Structure 1
Amino acid sequence: MKATYRDVKSDILSKITKGDWGPGSLIPNEIELAGIYGCARATVNRAMRELADDGIIERRRKAGTRVRASPIRQARFDIPLVRREIEDKGAEYRYSLANRAVEEAPDWLRARLKLPAGGKALHLVCMHYADGDPYQHEDRWINLAALPQAEDADFSQVGPNEWLVATIPFSDAEISFSAGLADRELSDYLAGKIGDPVFTIERSTWWEGQAITYVKLAYRPGHRMTTRY
């Protein structure tokens, strides 16, 4: 049975998300892919068109087809990069990885992201600074079933949000904004006091029905957020 364009699209996307074809990688041409998948070139062409429309690959005449270095987000809400936020304010950016662990997804995370029992997730706690002052506390979980390469990724120098933006797009997102009070741990990270008001953002993202990541971001009193649509 010949592969359909959906089969071809799904397999190419799998290779990209698993890191077999990383950002900037040249993808085999349509004739080669048709031979690999045992289908017509037109079938490959349709799969590649859809991947290009989704912002996953970039097709250029005579230059070939490559995985995008930064996949285009087909969504109204733009996921910001905290490095850019801080540098746009004219401040010096600094990043620190506070904790990293592979854990079985806790019940609350499984319920939120609809993960199966026993699923593994990478738990990262990070800090972002502006001119040396705490700016953002990042508490993130990455679904390793969707992104197994995250387990071996080096997050000591580059934050997980930047890595995710360069690695995989999202098709759905759920975002919540709230005000809360800092507990002892959070107050230590943000160089404040227990009970200080904090602005928090919780964000979950999915790619074609598969959960990618959940993150809780916390900011010191006085933080102001601006978005563009």
Structure 2
Amino acid sequence: MKATYKDVKSDILSKITKGEWAPGDLVPNEVELAATYGCARATVNRAMRELADEGLIERRRKAGTRVRMSPVRQARFDIPVVRAEIESRGATYRYSLVSDSVEVAPDWLRARLKLPAEGKAVHLDCMHYADGVPHEHEDRWISLTALPTAEEADFSHAGPTEWLLATIPFSEVEISLSAGLADQRLADYLACAVGEPVFTIERSTWWEGQAVTYVRFSYRPGYRLTTRY
């Protein structure tokens, strides 16, 4: 059984905390670690990235990765999984895939994510429910340039966020928060009136400089966003 990124992260963390890898020590490169743990390099990269985000290691291009002399504490914004969010409140979660298509990326998406001309993307329209009540509408695009396997993925039973987190790491995230008014389409999805206020989160992610996905989440009136750092 191949090691997961959590296994890799846990073992590296253990080596650091036990002093096997002392402050300032050079950490083996990703290729060596992937061979050691019997996993893909991307798995190692995700583990190393989280340790770097947590201030335990320092990664420098061409200079390698070293255990930090003094750990740095940093705030992180983890990508949330709506199923876990709803179930943590004791509510029953339900997911529905409204539509799934492969399209040439529209001009606005190509401009936003710097996709190639005629680049294609998977376009998903999804709904998430809490105790049968509309909770979140998801309008998502996944670049097939960055992630061609998305074209054959089955999104009929689980939301794309969970598939993406299990399939590819991310190195950069852009998040925008805004308020707006529901048009007829959103009003139908969220079971609210046209013109009622809706809360919107737009999120784009990249992996090593290449755009992977753009998503717009819309929430019905009364939604509250809470984050913890």
Q: TM > 0.5 between the two? A: yes
Q: Which amino acid aligns with 2:29?
A: R
The DSSP-based 3-state class of the residue aligned with 2:206 is strand
| Structure 1 length-normalised TM | 0.72
CA-CA distance at 1:227 after TM superposition: 1.3
Is the contact between residue 23 and residue 167 of structure 1 (CA under 8 Å) also seen in structure 2?
no
Aligned partner (choices 13, 38, 52) of residue 65 of structure 1: 38
Aligned length: 178
CA-CA distance at 1:228 after TM superposition: 2.0
CA-CA distance at 1:47 after TM superposition: 3.1
| Structure 2 length-normalised TM | 0.72
- Alignment gaps of 5+ in structure 2: 6-27, 54-75
User: 1:47-66 alignment to 2 at 5 Å?
Assistant: 47-48=30-31, 64-66=37-39
- 1:6-36, CA deviations, whole angstroms, 9 ceiling, x for partnerless residues? xxxxxxxxxxxxxxxx9859xxxxxxxxxxx
Aligned partner (choices 40, 46, 50) of residue 29 of structure 2: 46
- 1:94-153, CA deviations, whole angstroms, 9 ceiling, x for partnerless residues? 000001110000000001001111000000000000000000000000000111010000
Is the contact between residue 95 and residue 129 of structure 2 (CA under 8 Å) also seen in structure 1?
yes
Is the contact between residue 103 and residue 120 of structure 1 (CA under 8 Å) also seen in structure 2?
yes
CA-CA distance at 1:65 after TM superposition: 2.1
Is the contact between residue 183 and residue 195 of structure 1 (CA under 8 Å) also seen in structure 2?
yes
Distance 2:167 2:3 in 1: 7
Label 1:223 to 1:23 Cα distance change in 2 as closer, same or farther (>3 A).
farther
- 1:144-168, CA deviations, whole angstroms, 9 ceiling, x for partnerless residues? 0111010000000011011001011
The DSSP-based 3-state class of the residue aligned with 2:39 is strand
Paired position in structure 1 for 2:72: none
Mean Cα deviation higher: 209-218 or 73-82: 73-82
Q: Which amino acid aligns with 2:134?
A: P
Is the contact between residue 137 and residue 189 of structure 2 (CA under 8 Å) also seen in structure 1?
yes
The DSSP-based 3-state class of the residue aligned with 1:66 is coil
- Alignment gaps of 5+ in structure 1: 1-21, 26-44
